[in-house]
Amino acid sequence: MSSLSSVFITREVFEESIELLKKNFKVISNQNDILFNNFQLLENLKKVNIVQSSGSDMLDEKILSKCPQLNVISNTAVGYNNIDIDFCTKNKIMVFNTPNVLDDTVADFAILQMLSVARGTLSNDKYVKENKWKKVFLKQQMGIDFHNKKLGLIGFGRIGKKIAKRAKAFDLHINYYCRNQEKSKIENQYGAHYSDLNNLCKNSDFIVVIVPYSKETHHLISYDQISLMKKNSIIVNIARGGVINDEALIQALKKKKIYGAGIDVFENEPKINEGFYELDNVVLSPHVGSGTYDTRKAMSLKASENIISAVIHKNFINLVNKEVLN
């Protein structure tokens, strides 16, 4: 490690994180949560050899190449597609993330999104608030059932399995798609069956996208896959923007090719395709799948603990690019 022992925290975190790091490092923090432009971000990065970053920070080669003293990046997120991992590995920069602490919270949110779209939670709320509810009648604000339907999980990692665990309580029939089929013991544990992507899209009533974003998963769900989906199907994206082709989804929703969608992540977020604003069959949220007080605090602390564990104790927990240790 460099003799420089300073940490730059790029966005607002919980105070406990700052206090934890201050015991071992000089800390430069952005508790005012200023949205730095690239120049401002770079000027701060040049002052330190350790950074606790946010998922919204784009740490690409253009920026990182101007910070040769950097040797640790701890991302306050599970995903790390905002960081150029290849560049970091080549230049011996260790990258850490915060897995496990948000799995249950995000799984809860996936269930919420599916139910909200299926039962028209937002439209019902609007219906009442606009004083349109005058009496109860049989065909009033009808949604679709969630229980005993077919759920397709695109991705079957930690969060996917947590969703499957919850889905069993609703008597959902679970299929999943991922790069490698799980062992039969795991499939039996979660009551899940492997499917190829096209058949999953064709046969599922509800689909949840929960795969990491990469070159391989860019527009994994696009026009072809959406065209296979049932007219009464609902798709939820709690993965990363770019896994779904947003324009393809908007066109399908606009033409009622599918029933609805729950979208928490978007291409080019926070700027999103304005076509979403015109739709009444979509529930939108601002990338808050992990957004509970307890979970976001745990993420903040985990990112700080990763730094201390690596730099002080030489214990490289949650290291993404393990090749740097070679």
Task: Break the chain into its structural domains and give their ranges.
Answer: 6-98+293-325, 103-284
* Token pair listed for 261: 């969608």
Q: Which residue has the tokens 């994994």?
A: 220
> What does the pLDDT read at residue 183?
96
Chain segment 110-156, per-residue pLDDT in tens: 999 999 999 999 999 999 999 999 999 998 889 999 999 999 999 99
> What does the pLDDT read at residue 2?
41
- What span, in angstroms and rounded, lies between the C-alpha atoms of 306 and 319? 8
The one catalytic residue among 287, 296, 305, 313: 287
> What does the pLDDT read at residue 3?
43
- Mean pLDDT of the residues in the chain: 96
Asked if 210 and 182 touch (Cβ cutoff 8 Å), the reply is: no
- 287 assigned to active site: yes
Q: Do domains 6-98+293-325 and 103-284 have the same CATH topology?
A: yes
* Token pair listed for 72: 């640790």
- What span, in angstroms and rounded, lies between the C-alpha atoms of 269 and 320? 24
> What does the pLDDT read at residue 1?
42
CA torsion angle 150 281 106 286 (round to 10) = 160
Q: How far is CA 187 from CA 154, 161, 180, 184, 192, in A?
A: 15, 10, 12, 5, 5
- 247 assigned to active site: no
The one catalytic residue among 269, 278, 305, 313: 269
DSSP class per residue in 109-158: HHHHHHHHHHTTHHHHHHHHHTT---S--TTSS-----TT-EEEEE--SH
> What does the pLDDT read at residue 279?
97
| 103-284 placed in CATH 3.40.50.10490 | no
Output the pTM of the full model: 0.93
Low-confidence ranges of the chain (pLDDT < 70): 1-4
The one catalytic residue among 11, 182, 240, 305: 240
Q: What is the CA 108 to chain-centroid distance, rounded?
A: 13
> What does the pLDDT read at residue 140?
87
Taking the domain 6-98+293-325, which CATH number applies?
Answer: 3.40.50.720
- 193 assigned to active site: no
